């Protein structure tokens, strides 16, 4: 194993801190964006603050996963931590939105190495029967971060300043760095392989063009405009070039032979679908609470706590029972709870009691929690150690891609529906059109108690109804990808972890 039992706990602590820091970073920033824009200006460019990080993370994941298979996990996890810390320190001193976006991209390069490699290190140092509990723990941290981020972001922004949402990473990262450098001893043999540069370049190009097209389409440019169509065209060409390069490469970044394994292929589809639907919960439930119930930003952060507790429980149960039953059986429990929770959320309205929302969130969180621990484990199940980094990073990549597509597609649908319902509600009302324009151009007025107090009650009711139904419509729509996930779960097969076996085999299909 290369790392004795006393040291293992320090290594795990280092990995957990690294995951918490990188996974929390996007959600912590989302809460503080209003304050950042107010301070640095550049409302038209603020989308890049989130996008730059996501682009860099997604582009880096498959590449770092492959490099860790080739040259060792430790050096790339440490590299990821150092780059992430450098980016965090720079973000804290940014003087403009453009600077902040560039520094966020640096952070993202580091973040792309941390998540997949952390899961892979766990697989390297634990035998199969113990991996479930450990991935359950890592998955629970991932689930916690999605709720802790907004809460911490709201608190730091309100009581300190937005700069500290970045500085807070530095002490966490330094402790993680110390634990990994001091206690992690890598013993695996690493085969020197050729780096697939053409695959790396075409993949990064494809991801960057797709992200920019989705981020700018319908906001800065019309969907049918030349810049957006050009970005989609370059994405299509780059993805074809990437697929061609991967079939020719000696050591491809994403090994397509892995997809011939039923369990691996279904796990990637599920990561994409769960990522796309879970992200809308973390974004729109706080908006629902603020705009419909009239809560503060900190309340909105706290409101996700039941979902976090549900996801931690689901992740832990999924981890613990991995060695006792098949992946499919556990994912059936997951998808039933997830679909039921989402369907219940879709029934909400302004009159829905808060305690009911809490129950729905616990259920949906419980369902999604299983995926945090089960899908990474299923991806590397029976995989030779030298392919684990690549398998794990592919899974993390698909989850991130799902989140990006989900927030863009569902975000566009919610905005359009909100605007059309407002226009319908205020049709024929004197000054209605101007009122609609003012709300849709800056709906944040809905979120602030002082601003709400100035709006006549009958007008506020119509606005709140429109916001409520546009969000619950999205939850109803999310049942479509969840229905595809149901079918995918049943296609997983009956594979399970055999306790006591090493859980690895060398694939013969990749040549």
Taking the C-alpha atoms of residue 261 and residue 273, their distance in angstroms, rounded to an integer, is 19
What 3-state DSSP class applies to 412? helix
As averages over each run of 10 residues, the pLDDT of the chain (511 residues) reads: 68 88 77 72 66 80 81 88 94 86 89 84 80 77 75 80 87 92 75 73 84 76 88 93 85 79 92 92 81 66 79 86 85 95 93 90 93 86 80 85 84 84 75 58 58 72 85 94 94 73 42 37
What 3-state DSSP class applies to 2? coil
What is the number of residues in the chain? 511
What 3-state DSSP class applies to 22? helix
Delimit the CATH 1.20.1250.20 region(s) of the chain: 1-193
Q: Each residue of 389-447: pLDDT tens digit?
A: 788 888 888 888 888 788 778 888 888 888 888 888 777 666 555 556 555 555 555 66
Contact 179, 14 (CB under 8 A): yes
DSSP category for residue 289: I
Rounded to 5 degrees, φ, ψ at 491 are -90, 0
Rg (CA), the chain: 23
Q: Model pTM?
A: 0.80
Is 1-193 assigned to CATH 3.40.50.720? no
The predicted pLDDT at position 477 comes to 95
The predicted pLDDT at position 473 comes to 94
**Phi-psi bin for 503: left (phi > 0), alpha (psi -120 to 50), beta?**
left
Taking the C-alpha atoms of residue 259 and residue 196, their distance in angstroms, rounded to an integer, is 19
The predicted pLDDT at position 509 comes to 38
Q: Each residue of 93-121: pLDDT tens digit?
A: 888 888 888 899 899 889 888 878 888 88
The predicted pLDDT at position 447 comes to 60
């Amino acid at each position: 194993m290369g790392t004795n039992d006393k040291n293992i706990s320090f290594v795990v602590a280092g990995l957990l801190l690294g995951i918490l820091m990188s996974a929390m970073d996007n959600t912590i920033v989302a809460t503080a964006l209003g304050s950042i824009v107010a301070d640095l200006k550049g409302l038209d460019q603020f989308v890049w603050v989130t996008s730059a990080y996501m682009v860099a993370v997604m582009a880096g994941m498959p590449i770092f996963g492959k490099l860790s298979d080739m040259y060792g996990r430790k050096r790339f996890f440490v590299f990821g931590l150092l780059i992430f810390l450098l980016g965090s320190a720079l973000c804290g001193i940014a003087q403009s939105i453009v600077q902040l976006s560039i520094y966020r991209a640096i952070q993202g390069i580091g973040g792309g190495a941390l998540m997949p490699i952390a899961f892979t290190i766990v697989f390297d140092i634990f035998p199969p029967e113990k991996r479930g509990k450990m991935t359950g723990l890592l998955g629970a941290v991932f689930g916690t971060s999605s709720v802790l981020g907004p809460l911490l972001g709201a608190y730091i922004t309100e009581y300190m300043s937005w700069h500290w949402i970045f500085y807070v990473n530095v002490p966490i990262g330094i402790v993680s760095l110390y634990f990994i450098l001091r206690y992690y001893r890598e013993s695996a043999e690493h085969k020197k392989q050729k780096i697939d540069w053409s695959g790396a370049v075409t993949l990064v190009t494809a991801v960057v063009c797709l992200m920019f097209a989705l981020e700018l389409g319908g906001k800065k440019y019309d969907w049918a405009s030349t810049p957006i169509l050009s970005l989609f065209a370059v994405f299509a060409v780059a993805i074809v070039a990437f697929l061609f390069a991967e079939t020719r490469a000696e050591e491809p970044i994403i090994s397509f032979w892995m997809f011939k394994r039923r369990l691996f292929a279904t796990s990637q589809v599920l990561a994409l679908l769960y990522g796309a639907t879970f992200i809308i919960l973390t974004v729109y439930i706080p908006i629902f609470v603020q705009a419909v119930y009239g809560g503060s930003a900190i309340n909105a952060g706290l409101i996700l706590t039941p979902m976090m507790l549900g996801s931690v429980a689901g992740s832990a149960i999924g981890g613990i029972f991995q060695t006792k039953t098949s992946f499919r059986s556990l994912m059936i429990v997951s998808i039933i709870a997830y679909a039921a929770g989402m369907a219940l959320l879709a029934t909400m309205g302004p009159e829905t009691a808060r305690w009911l929302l809490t129950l729905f969130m616990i259920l949906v969180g419980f369902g999604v929690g299983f995926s945090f621990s089960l899908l990474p484990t299923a991806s590397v199940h029976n995989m030779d150690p030298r392919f684990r980094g690549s398998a794990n990073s592919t899974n993390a990549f698909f989850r991130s891609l799902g989140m990006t597509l989900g927030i863009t597609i569902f975000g566009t649908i919610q905005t359009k529906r909100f605007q059309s319902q407002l226009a319908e509600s205020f049709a024929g009302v004197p000054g209605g059109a101007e009122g609609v324009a003012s709300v849709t151009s800056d709906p944040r007025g809905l979120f602030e108690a002082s601003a709400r107090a100035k709006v006549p009650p009958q007008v506020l009711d119509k606005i709140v109804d429109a916001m409520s139904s546009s969000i619950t419509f999205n939850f109803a729509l999310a049942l479509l990808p969840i229905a595809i996930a149901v079918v995918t779960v049943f296609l997983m097969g009956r594979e399970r972890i055999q306790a006591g076996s090493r859980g690895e085999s060398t694939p013969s299909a990749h040549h």
